[in-house]
Amino acid sequence: MKRSFDDFLIYDIFETLSKYLSVQDIVNVLMVNISCYGNYKYNENYCNKIFVKKIIRSFGFQRVFDKTNSIKHLFRMFYYFKNHKCYKADFLVYMIDNSIKDNDLFRFYASQCCFRNAINTINEQDEDARILNYSGLYISDIDRLINDTFISLNDMKYILVNSDIDQLHVLFDIFNIPISLLSYTISELKYSRGDNYLITCIKYMFVKHCFGKFNVDDNSYICEILVCLIRYKRTNVLKYFIDQKREYIMRGRSIDYQSLINTCIELHDKIHLEILIKEQKYDNDKGLLERSFIIINTHRVIKLCEMAKFEYLKYLVKRHLGKAINTMIYIDSICMGLEMLIFNNFGLIKNIQLLSEYINDGNKIYINNYITKCYDDIKLDKSKRILI
């Protein structure tokens, strides 16, 4: 359609007026004036740039954003936020809650926010949403009212846990997320997200913080992450963690094998136990830490016997304990566990004979004498008694 001089004159007037009109006023003009709306449609891309600029500024952002393909999302957010006082982080939350997939817009909003270092202790029951500034002083709610770009700790926890993987990459590109908060995020996502999401968190942890430079306070959070992966059977993620550890590890730094291996035993887990035993041997062979040996806690042996998990205990003896099972500290633990088993459900003790080939004759006599006294205490018929 051929454009007349009057049409261009109308557009020039509209463009000039738009500098002084609000976003809503411009929309009203377009809705009531057919000529102006025709000019808008004829120059839609350029007009959308005007809208984008004005909407962004109406949100209080001074930085330029000119992605016209985000116009629909911007209008949606404009009509929501024009009547709501908000912090800059609320735009991120809105996009997440409403499943708005626009990485350019999400990155823009994130780049306009500030997140310092979260307080060291991440307690999900703690309602304190304060964050630390670079001087180590708390940023109070009053400070946040003055500067609405700050992201509170609770907001960041919510954003990390609920963002999709593309949004997560943006957050990791822009913000310095402490390991304590990564630990919280992974623990919250143990059911709801796939391995790729958790691997992204692990990769960020190593690349951003570097394993060799983790401080002492980080160790407990790293252990929490690994326990979570073991407990909820995220085997691929655990293997990825170990691969990264081998790449970034420095001499004298390692993971808490003692705690993690005993967690596997608590869960009667063979797969992850083998992975950790193998990795602990790797660290020893490479001289990355002082040569150490894994000690299976006696209370784990007591619990296995109390629960009649003799098959798993046999596996531990065969694969890891070996002759150490005949030390008195373990023999006494077996006796204590059997005592509780006899008092609670003596019928399950029948599988104790699975351990027979690993217990020496002297200790068999010791165990049999001990459990015989337990049988006597409950007055169990001798024909029903089972010995090792």
Task: Examine residue 96 and state whether it is found in any structural domain, yes or no.
Answer: no
Residues near 325 by beta carbon (within 8 Å), at least 6 away in sequence = 317, 331, 355, 358, 359
Whether the per-residue pLDDT at 271 is higher than 60: the answer is yes
Which of 64, 79, 108 is where one domain is finished? 64
Mean pLDDT of the chain: 83
Which of 64, 87, 118 is where one domain is finished? 64
Question: 123-151 burial, b if ≥16 CB within 10 A, otherwise e?
Answer: eeeeeebbbbeeeeeebeeeebeeeeebb
What's residue 128's pLDDT? 37
pTM: 0.80
Can you name the residues that pair with 131 across neighbouring β-strands? Answer: 139
Whether the per-residue pLDDT at 229 is higher than 90: the answer is yes
Task: Examine residue 56 and state whether it is found in any structural domain, yes or no.
Answer: yes
Structure confidence by residue, pLDDT tens digits, 6-17: 444 455 666 777
- Quickly tell me which residue has 């001089």 as its tokens: 5
**111-125, 240-254, 277-291: segment of lowest average pLDDT:** 111-125
Whether the per-residue pLDDT at 144 is higher than 60: the answer is no
Per-residue confidence band for 289, with pLDDT thresholds at 50, 70 and 90: low
Structure confidence by residue, pLDDT tens digits, 131-142: 333 333 334 444
Whether the per-residue pLDDT at 200 is higher than 60: the answer is yes
Which of 41, 64, 87 is where one domain is finished? 64
358: containing domain = 299-388
What's residue 120's pLDDT? 41
Beta strands in 15-149 (DSSP E): 131-132, 138-139
Question: CA-CA distance, 336 to 103, in Å (whole number)?
Answer: 60
Q: Both tokens of residue 73?
A: 């999302």
When divided into structural domains, the chain yields a total of 2
Per-residue confidence band for 47, with pLDDT thresholds at 50, 70 and 90: confident
**84-88, 166-170, 242-246: segment of lowest average pLDDT:** 84-88
Whether the per-residue pLDDT at 5 is higher than 60: the answer is no
Task: Examine residue 47 and state whether it is found in any structural domain, yes or no.
Answer: yes
What's residue 147's pLDDT? 65
Task: Examine residue 319 and state whether it is found in any structural domain, yes or no.
Answer: yes
Task: Examine residue 139 and state whether it is found in any structural domain, yes or no.
Answer: no
What's residue 299's pLDDT? 94
Whether the per-residue pLDDT at 122 is higher than 60: the answer is no
Per-residue confidence band for 129, with pLDDT thresholds at 50, 70 and 90: very low
Task: Examine residue 7 and state whether it is found in any structural domain, yes or no.
Answer: yes
Task: Examine residue 356 and state whether it is found in any structural domain, yes or no.
Answer: yes
Task: Examine residue 355 and state whether it is found in any structural domain, yes or no.
Answer: yes
